[in-house]
A and B are shown apart, each in its own frame.
Chain A
């Protein structure tokens, strides 16, 4: 399951898409808009994408994950448009027979998504200013 949506993400539905009778572990990553901008508080993040290519890149990630970790099943849903602080921007669910593969594949998917998939976010601050964000430092997630 790959989805780019303007609507709030239904995390339960994302999880459901990877549940399998053979899966003994499900790992979920949620990216959430946090409030702490550098000069003023973050009011919202606004996402845009190159849809056709973003969907294709997400499909590639999904199949690459399936060949790296045979048997895993994954679902990736990314929000577009304006997302207020506190709301989910991306949900990645991965199921596998055992937790090691589910954790590894999930971590790999979010890391790859952040460097490969043509999606961009603009930060709107509470003081009315806004700026385009580039890839945050390693290990930091927005």
Chain B
């Protein structure tokens, strides 16, 4: 399946784009997405250990599977306030 991953803040400015497309096996987990992102975009790799991921607007654990057609986002450490 093709996953369109939204990027924000330091992830967005590091790549200079607000989303990337990743090709993952059907039923892939967040952990697999994380590895694939590091593999396809090595520039993001050092930032990934501190990032969380969200599926359809909810924080997702690494073992969670990604439903097809869901909105997936990479959430670097937040700094609101």
Residues of A within 8 A of B (CB): 31, 47-50, 52-54, 56, 78, 89-90, 110, 113-122, 132-136, 141-142
Give the CA-CA distance A134 to B76 in the complex, in Å. 9
Q: Given the complex, which residues of B lie within 8 Å of A132, measured CB to CB?
A: 9-10, 13, 76, 79
Interface SS, A side:
mixed
Residues of B within 8 A of A (CB): 6, 8-10, 13, 50, 54, 57-58, 73, 75-81
Q: Given the complex, which residues of B lie within 8 Å of A141, measured CB to CB?
A: 81
Q: Given the complex, which residues of A lie within 8 Å of B9, measured CB to CB?
A: 48, 120, 122, 132
**Interface pair A113/B76, CB less than 8 Å apart:** no
Q: Which residue of A lies closest to B8 (CB)?
A: A50
Give the CA-CA distance A89 to B81 in the complex, in Å. 6
11 intermolecular pairs with C-beta atoms under 8 Å apart: A31-B81, A48-B9, A50-B6, A50-B75, A114-B78, A115-B78, A117-B78, A117-B80, A120-B8, A120-B10, A122-B13
Q: Which residue of A lies closest to B76 (CB)?
A: A120
Q: Given the complex, which residues of A lie within 8 Å of B77, measured CB to CB?
A: 134-135
Q: Given the complex, which residues of A lie within 8 Å of B80, measured CB to CB?
A: 47, 49, 54, 78, 90, 113-114, 117-121
Give the CA-CA distance A102 to B33 in the complex, in Å. 42
Min Cβ gap A101→B in Å is: 21
**Interface pair A119/B13, CB less than 8 Å apart:** no
Min Cβ gap A9→B in Å is: 13
Q: Which residue of B lies closest to A60 (CB)?
A: B58
**Interface pair B78/A120, CB less than 8 Å apart:** yes
